[in-house]
Amino acid sequence: MAKKVFYDEDARRRVLEGAKILYEAVKTTMGPKGRNVVISKSYGNPTVTHDGVTVAKGVEIADVDDETLGYKVGAELIKEAANKMNDVAGDGTTTVTVLTYHILNEANKLIAAGHNPMLLRKGLEAAAQDVLKNLKGEDIKSDKKRVAQVATISAGDSEIGELIAGVIDKVGKDGVVTVEEGQGLALESEVVEGFTFDKGFVSPYMVTDTTRMEAVIEKPAIVVTDKKISSVQEFLPLMEKLAQAGKKDLVLIAEDVEGEALGTLILNRLKGVFNTLALKAPSFGDRRKDVLNDIAILTGATVITDDRGMTFENVDLDVVGTARKVIADKDETTIIEGGGSVTEINARIKQIEAQAAAATSEYEKENFDKRRAALSGKVAVIKVGGATETEIEEKKFRVDDAVAAVKAALDEGIVAGGGVTLVNLSEAIKVDSTDDLSEGRQILKTALLRPFYELMNNSGLNPDEWLPQIRKAKTGQGIDVNSPTKLVDLKSAGIVDPARVTKEAIQNAVSIAGTSMTMGAIVVEVPEPKSAAPDMSGMGGGMMGM
């Protein structure tokens, strides 16, 4: 495919136009009065969401003509900022989108006026370092009410907020929380036995929920082995035994699954013949063997290993375990309610506790403690109900965001919400000159105001009317958009954001936009013209002219 190069101002203009398309779609979701976005899909029902990163992922910009070439680059930059934000904080994707776009926009104006982009970037990054030093979160670890407020603000729903606060209170800030579709209309939760390890699926082709990029299997057969599987012939005998027993939903935990074996498992899954979720075994060396045995005892399986002369051909189905459900993404797996014997699980926990007590190093003791905690772990399951599949999916997005926001708040505390903390941080940036470094500082000073503007605009309020009052008021005072009569202490009013989300939004926006503003050219692929369909008018009637 041919490629085209655009330089300097033309390149920056094209990138900014693409970024603007994504920004315009995402900003509509900002704040408690932000609107939903409906995303059409090539199959199934459309997705209705209030989640910034989901909107960003749903926007696909095609380079259809010479004018729009390069737009896709700008859109992908915004997507990268939102995706990175989602990975590290799980929330704040709309804020980082707004910040990234406005940093790019302000930088482009200054570069077009003759300012040096490298010095602008240095000034921008220096200003970011300064404001982050002033960002301090209020600890909420022992305050269930505050936890509920964080979840409520994130989800835009007090029922979701209260439920998540109760769930986190039971499983702790490091506990695993899964979200699934409920049976009725109500929102429910339960705490069940669960085991989590830090390895995920071998291939994304095993994903069952493409929106959340998760693979979920209900009541699977579970095979645990320390082998590396590359030949399908090696594994075929056990697959045939499982198929004959009517067990066609399989979770395979192995050192690795690759090559011909992986290709065959994926093909069978896509054809609906055999539904396999292949997972990489956690840990390494002797520790891997220990953890695999933990998983085997938890699920009622037996580890298939060469150490005992076991092969997939000479074992029977009594080596196969089970669980209520297994959920995996690319990085992590959760086994819910393994089918192993409670007596054997408790005996294993006691054995690990004894090993921890006898450990001679802190490193060994820490590893034993992690294994014990994993085996005796609890998993919270939030069941989201609704009248339609579309409503349920939209609620699940909000619950996911709220859980992530709560965990971030428990880690690093909370700050005033409503965009006001960013306004306060903007006020703290000092710009004493008009040189390039100072103008770089001004870029961030201006951009930090934009989330407040978008939130107010979405609420039908005039930001220019309220901003001067906020600037004169005490730090943390702002406007409750649901009752916009006077300034209030936002923390006291329960309008709060996780400090970590605010910090990561600034860092990611400055990183992505700062790198992009120094570009001198972009190289893009030129789409090949589509050939016209052949003229069929002269052909006779019937299928294929017959």
Pick from 390, 500, 369, 534: nearest CA to 92: 500
Cβ pair 305, 227 in contact under 8 A: yes
Report pLDDT for 29. 94
pLDDT in tens, 395-434: 999 999 999 999 999 999 999 999 999 999 999 999 999 8
Distance between CA 205 and CA 366 in Å, rounded?
35
Residues 6+ apart with CB under 8 A from 415: 135, 136, 137, 138, 421, 476, 496, 497, 498, 499, 502
What residue spans define the domains of the chain? 3-138+413-525, 139-186+385-412, 191-377
How, if at all, do strands 378-384 and 176-181 pair? Answer: parallel
pLDDT (0 to 100) of residue 1: 66
CA–CA dist 158, 400 (Å, integer)? 15
Burial of 283 (0-12, 13-18, 19+ CB in 10 A): middle
Cα separations in angstroms, 356 against 198, 295, 364, 378 = 21, 19, 7, 21
Class of domain 139-186+385-412: alpha beta
Residue 12 three-state SS: helix
For 191-377, the fitting CATH number among 3.40.50.720, 3.50.7.10, 3.90.1300.10, 3.40.50.1000 is: 3.50.7.10
**496 sits in which H/E element:** strand 496-498
Helix axes 158-171, 389-412, angle to 10 degrees: 50
Angle at 57 between CA 522 and CA 412, to 5 degrees: 100
In this prediction, residue 539 carries a pLDDT of: 45
Read off the DSSP letter of residue 229: E
Instruction: Report CA 74 to chain centroid distance, whole Å.
Output: 21
Round to whole Å and give the CA distance between 299 and 316: 16
Question: Looking at 281-377, which runs of residues are DSSP E strands?
Answer: 321-328, 333-338
Q: Report CA-CA distances (Å) from 244 to 93, 224, 317, 481.
A: 48, 20, 11, 62
Is 188:383 a contact under the CB 8 Å cutoff? yes
Considering the entire predicted model, what is its pTM? 0.81
- Judge whether 166 and 189 are in contact, CB under 8 Å: yes
Q: How high is the pLDDT of residue 89?
A: 85
pLDDT tens digit at each of 546 positions of the chain: 688 899 999 999 999 999 999 999 999 999 999 999 999 887 778 888 988 989 998 998 887 777 888 899 999 999 999 999 988 888 899 999 999 999 999 999 999 999 999 999 999 999 999 999 989 999 998 899 999 999 999 999 999 999 999 999 998 888 889 999 998 888 999 999 899 999 999 999 999 988 788 999 999 999 999 999 999 999 999 999 999 999 999 999 999 999 999 999 999 999 989 999 999 999 888 899 999 999 999 999 999 999 999 999 999 999 999 999 999 999 999 999 999 999 999 999 999 999 999 988 888 998 898 899 899 888 999 999 999 988 999 999 999 999 999 999 999 999 999 999 999 999 999 999 989 999 999 999 999 999 999 999 999 999 999 999 999 999 999 999 999 999 999 999 999 999 999 999 999 999 999 999 999 999 988 877 665 555 545 444 443 343
Q: List, in order, residues 6 or more apart from 537 with CB less than 8 Å away.
A: none
**Residue 137 contacts residue 413 (beta carbons within 8 Å):** yes
CATH ID of 3-138+413-525, from 3.40.50.720, 3.40.50.620, 1.10.560.10, 3.40.47.10: 1.10.560.10
Q: Quote the tokens at residue 171.
A: 């499983």
Token code pair at residue 76: 């992908």
Tell me if 3-138+413-525 shares its fold with 191-377: no
